[in-house]
Protein backbone atom coordinates (compact mmCIF):
# COMPACT_ATOMS: atom_id res chain seq x y z
CA UNK A 1 0.00 0.00 0.00
CA UNK A 2 1.49 3.30 -1.12
CA UNK A 3 0.41 6.93 -0.76
CA UNK A 4 1.00 9.56 -3.44
CA UNK A 5 -0.34 13.09 -3.37
CA UNK A 6 -3.25 12.20 -1.12
CA UNK A 7 -3.99 9.04 -3.11
CA UNK A 8 -3.67 5.63 -1.47
CA UNK A 9 -2.65 2.91 -3.92
CA UNK A 10 -3.88 -0.27 -2.26
CA UNK A 11 -3.06 -2.61 -5.13
CA UNK A 12 0.12 -1.18 -6.61
CA UNK A 13 -1.67 -0.22 -9.82
CA UNK A 14 -0.06 3.18 -10.41
CA UNK A 15 3.26 1.66 -11.43
CA UNK A 16 1.51 -0.76 -13.77
CA UNK A 17 -0.53 1.98 -15.43
CA UNK A 18 2.66 3.78 -16.35
CA UNK A 19 3.84 0.92 -18.54
CA UNK A 20 3.04 0.42 -22.21
CA UNK A 21 0.23 -2.06 -22.66
CA UNK A 22 -3.31 -2.59 -23.87
CA UNK A 23 -4.69 0.13 -21.60
CA UNK A 24 -6.67 0.00 -18.38
CA UNK A 25 -10.35 0.06 -17.54
CA UNK A 26 -11.16 2.57 -14.80
CA UNK A 27 -14.29 2.47 -12.67
CA UNK A 28 -15.11 5.71 -10.86
CA UNK A 29 -16.99 5.50 -7.56
CA UNK A 30 -16.86 1.71 -7.62
CA UNK A 31 -17.85 1.20 -3.96
CA UNK A 32 -17.50 -2.22 -2.38
CA UNK A 33 -17.96 -4.23 -5.56
CA UNK A 34 -16.58 -3.45 -8.99
CA UNK A 35 -18.87 -4.18 -11.91
CA UNK A 36 -15.91 -5.48 -13.90
CA UNK A 37 -13.32 -7.61 -12.14
CA UNK A 38 -10.53 -6.33 -14.41
CA UNK A 39 -11.26 -2.66 -13.71
CA UNK A 40 -9.18 -0.35 -11.54
CA UNK A 41 -11.60 0.69 -8.81
CA UNK A 42 -11.50 4.35 -7.73
CA UNK A 43 -13.38 5.71 -4.73
CA UNK A 44 -12.84 8.20 -1.92
CA UNK A 45 -13.71 5.48 0.59
CA UNK A 46 -11.38 2.58 1.42
CA UNK A 47 -13.91 -0.14 0.68
CA UNK A 48 -13.15 -3.70 -0.32
CA UNK A 49 -13.41 -3.17 -4.09
CA UNK A 50 -11.28 -0.03 -4.23
CA UNK A 51 -7.76 -0.01 -5.70
CA UNK A 52 -7.10 3.75 -5.59
CA UNK A 53 -8.49 5.72 -2.65
CA UNK A 54 -8.83 9.50 -2.85
CA UNK A 55 -10.70 12.42 -4.34
CA UNK A 56 -11.42 11.65 -7.99
CA UNK A 57 -9.47 14.68 -9.24
CA UNK A 58 -6.44 13.77 -7.13
CA UNK A 59 -6.57 10.18 -8.38
CA UNK A 60 -6.87 11.17 -12.04
CA UNK A 61 -4.01 13.65 -11.64
CA UNK A 62 -1.83 10.80 -10.37
CA UNK A 63 -2.49 8.69 -13.49
CA UNK A 64 -0.27 8.91 -16.56
CA UNK A 65 -1.78 10.29 -19.73
CA UNK A 66 -3.49 7.96 -22.23
CA UNK A 67 -3.28 5.02 -19.83
CA UNK A 68 -6.92 3.90 -20.19
CA UNK A 69 -9.07 2.52 -22.97
CA UNK A 70 -12.34 2.68 -21.05
CA UNK A 71 -13.82 4.55 -18.09
CA UNK A 72 -17.13 3.67 -16.47
CA UNK A 73 -19.13 5.16 -13.65
CA UNK A 74 -22.56 4.42 -12.21
CA UNK A 75 -24.38 6.87 -9.95
CA UNK A 76 -21.20 8.81 -9.35
CA UNK A 77 -21.08 11.88 -11.59
CA UNK A 78 -24.11 13.46 -9.90
CA UNK A 79 -21.93 13.83 -6.79
CA UNK A 80 -19.26 15.79 -8.70
CA UNK A 81 -19.54 19.57 -8.45
CA UNK A 82 -17.67 20.26 -11.71
CA UNK A 83 -18.58 17.71 -14.45
CA UNK A 84 -16.79 19.74 -17.13
CA UNK A 85 -13.51 19.54 -15.27
CA UNK A 86 -14.07 15.81 -14.81
CA UNK A 87 -14.54 15.28 -18.56
CA UNK A 88 -11.31 17.08 -19.35
CA UNK A 89 -9.42 15.01 -16.77
CA UNK A 90 -10.89 11.85 -18.25
CA UNK A 91 -9.91 13.00 -21.74
CA UNK A 92 -6.31 13.24 -20.57
CA UNK A 93 -6.16 9.67 -19.24
CA UNK A 94 -8.19 8.08 -22.07
CA UNK A 95 -6.61 7.13 -25.35
CA UNK A 96 -8.17 8.47 -28.57
CA UNK A 97 -11.06 6.20 -29.46
CA UNK A 98 -11.44 5.19 -25.80
CA UNK A 99 -14.93 4.65 -24.43
CA UNK A 100 -16.60 6.56 -21.59
CA UNK A 101 -19.82 5.29 -20.00
CA UNK A 102 -21.68 7.43 -17.48
CA UNK A 103 -24.82 6.27 -15.70
CA UNK A 104 -26.61 8.84 -13.54
CA UNK A 105 -30.06 9.32 -12.02
CA UNK A 106 -32.47 11.05 -14.36
CA UNK A 107 -33.68 14.42 -13.06
CA UNK A 108 -37.26 13.09 -12.79
CA UNK A 109 -36.17 10.37 -10.35
CA UNK A 110 -37.42 11.21 -6.84
CA UNK A 111 -34.40 9.50 -5.33
CA UNK A 112 -32.16 12.06 -7.02
CA UNK A 113 -33.84 14.89 -5.14
CA UNK A 114 -33.99 13.10 -1.78
CA UNK A 115 -30.22 12.45 -1.60
CA UNK A 116 -28.52 15.53 -0.19
CA UNK A 117 -25.13 14.47 -1.62
CA UNK A 118 -26.37 14.87 -5.20
CA UNK A 119 -25.21 18.17 -6.67
CA UNK A 120 -26.00 17.98 -10.41
CA UNK A 121 -29.15 16.77 -12.25
CA UNK A 122 -28.84 14.94 -15.58
CA UNK A 123 -31.15 14.67 -18.57
CA UNK A 124 -30.84 13.78 -22.24
CA UNK A 125 -29.02 16.96 -23.20
CA UNK A 126 -26.76 17.42 -20.18
CA UNK A 127 -23.59 16.15 -21.83
CA UNK A 128 -24.48 17.85 -25.12
CA UNK A 129 -23.45 21.11 -23.42
CA UNK A 130 -20.05 19.64 -22.55
CA UNK A 131 -19.13 17.43 -25.54
CA UNK A 132 -19.79 17.11 -29.28
CA UNK A 133 -23.33 15.88 -29.96
CA UNK A 134 -24.19 14.55 -33.44
CA UNK A 135 -27.28 12.59 -32.35
CA UNK A 136 -29.99 14.88 -30.96
CA UNK A 137 -32.21 17.13 -33.04
CA UNK A 138 -32.41 19.78 -30.35
CA UNK A 139 -29.16 21.71 -30.41
CA UNK A 140 -27.74 23.26 -27.26
CA UNK A 141 -24.96 25.84 -26.96
CA UNK A 142 -21.40 25.29 -25.83
CA UNK A 143 -20.86 28.03 -23.26
CA UNK A 144 -17.22 26.98 -23.00
CA UNK A 145 -14.87 24.89 -25.13
CA UNK A 146 -16.32 21.36 -25.17
CA UNK A 147 -14.33 18.43 -23.89
CA UNK A 148 -12.81 16.22 -26.63
CA UNK A 149 -15.58 13.63 -26.55
CA UNK A 150 -18.34 12.74 -28.97
CA UNK A 151 -21.68 11.54 -27.67
CA UNK A 152 -22.67 8.18 -29.17
CA UNK A 153 -25.73 7.16 -27.15
CA UNK A 154 -28.02 8.49 -24.44
CA UNK A 155 -30.54 5.91 -23.28
CA UNK A 156 -33.29 6.37 -20.70
CA UNK A 157 -33.50 3.49 -18.22
CA UNK A 158 -36.83 2.63 -16.59
CA UNK A 159 -36.60 0.37 -13.58
CA UNK A 160 -37.33 0.19 -9.88
CA UNK A 161 -35.19 -1.09 -7.05
CA UNK A 162 -35.22 -4.82 -6.32
CA UNK A 163 -37.34 -4.08 -3.25
CA UNK A 164 -40.22 -3.29 -5.65
CA UNK A 165 -40.33 -6.24 -8.12
CA UNK A 166 -43.81 -5.51 -9.52
CA UNK A 167 -42.92 -1.92 -10.33
CA UNK A 168 -39.67 -3.14 -11.85
CA UNK A 169 -41.56 -5.50 -14.17
CA UNK A 170 -44.07 -2.84 -15.24
CA UNK A 171 -41.39 -0.31 -16.14
CA UNK A 172 -39.51 -2.50 -18.61
CA UNK A 173 -41.98 -2.13 -21.52
CA UNK A 174 -42.06 1.64 -20.95
CA UNK A 175 -38.32 1.74 -21.49
CA UNK A 176 -38.57 -0.30 -24.67
CA UNK A 177 -41.08 2.14 -26.16
CA UNK A 178 -39.31 5.32 -25.04
CA UNK A 179 -35.96 4.18 -26.43
CA UNK A 180 -37.33 3.20 -29.85
CA UNK A 181 -35.76 6.26 -31.45
CA UNK A 182 -34.20 9.63 -30.82
CA UNK A 183 -37.62 11.21 -31.42
CA UNK A 184 -39.37 9.08 -28.77
CA UNK A 185 -36.67 9.88 -26.20
CA UNK A 186 -36.88 13.59 -26.87
CA UNK A 187 -40.70 13.53 -26.89
CA UNK A 188 -40.78 11.63 -23.58
CA UNK A 189 -38.45 14.01 -21.76
CA UNK A 190 -40.23 17.13 -23.01
CA UNK A 191 -43.79 15.94 -22.38
CA UNK A 192 -44.06 12.84 -20.17
CA UNK A 193 -41.18 12.61 -17.71
CA UNK A 194 -43.15 13.97 -14.75
CA UNK A 195 -46.03 11.54 -15.43
CA UNK A 196 -43.78 8.48 -15.85
CA UNK A 197 -40.49 9.29 -14.09
CA UNK A 198 -37.32 7.77 -15.45
CA UNK A 199 -34.90 6.03 -13.08
CA UNK A 200 -31.56 6.76 -14.74
CA UNK A 201 -29.83 7.78 -17.93
CA UNK A 202 -26.91 6.00 -19.59
CA UNK A 203 -24.47 7.98 -21.74
CA UNK A 204 -21.84 6.52 -24.02
CA UNK A 205 -19.10 8.78 -25.37
CA UNK A 206 -15.92 8.26 -27.38
CA UNK A 207 -12.68 10.13 -26.82
CA UNK A 208 -11.93 12.21 -29.91
CA UNK A 209 -8.61 11.97 -31.69
CA UNK A 210 -6.37 14.93 -30.95
CA UNK A 211 -7.21 17.71 -33.40
CA UNK A 212 -10.82 16.60 -33.92
CA UNK A 213 -13.48 19.28 -33.50
- Taking the C-alpha atoms of residue 128 and residue 149, their distance in angstroms, rounded to an integer, is 10
Segment 140-198, tens digit of pLDDT = 999 999 999 999 999 999 987 776 777 777 888 999 999 999 999 999 999 999 999 99
What percent of the chain stands above pLDDT 90? 78
- Asked if residue 104 belongs to a domain, the reply is yes
Residue 104's domain comprises: 2-157+200-207
How many domains in the chain?
1
Segment 13-34, tens digit of pLDDT = 998 887 667 889 999 999 999 9
Q: What is the pLDDT of residue 165?
A: 77
Alpha helices in 39-181 (DSSP H): 56-62, 83-93, 110-114, 165-178
- Asked if residue 132 belongs to a domain, the reply is yes
Segment 181-191, tens digit of pLDDT = 999 999 999 99
- Asked if residue 36 belongs to a domain, the reply is yes
- Asked if residue 164 belongs to a domain, the reply is no
CATH number of domain containing 141: 3.40.50.150
**Start-to-end C-alpha separation, the chain:** 41
Backbone angles phi, psi at 96, to 5 degrees: -55, 135
| Of the candidates 125, 115, 141, the residue with the CA atom closest to the CA atom of residue 190 | 125
- Asked if residue 73 belongs to a domain, the reply is yes
The H or E element spanning position 13 is helix 13-17
Contacts for 118 with CB less than 8 Å, ≥ 6 apart: 78, 79, 105, 112
- Asked if residue 70 belongs to a domain, the reply is yes
- Asked if residue 167 belongs to a domain, the reply is no
- Asked if residue 168 belongs to a domain, the reply is no
Q: Are 194 and 145 in contact (CB under 8 A)?
A: no
CA angle 110, 113, 115 (to 5 degrees): 110
Segment 78-128, tens digit of pLDDT = 999 999 999 999 999 999 999 999 999 999 998 889 999 999 999 999 999
Amino acid sequence: MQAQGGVVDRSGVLAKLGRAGPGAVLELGCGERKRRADAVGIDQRALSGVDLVGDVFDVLAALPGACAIEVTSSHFVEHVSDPRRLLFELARVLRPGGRLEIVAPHFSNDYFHSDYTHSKPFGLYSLSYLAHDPIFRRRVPHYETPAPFTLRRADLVFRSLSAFPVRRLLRRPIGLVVNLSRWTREFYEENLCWLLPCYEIRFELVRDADGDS
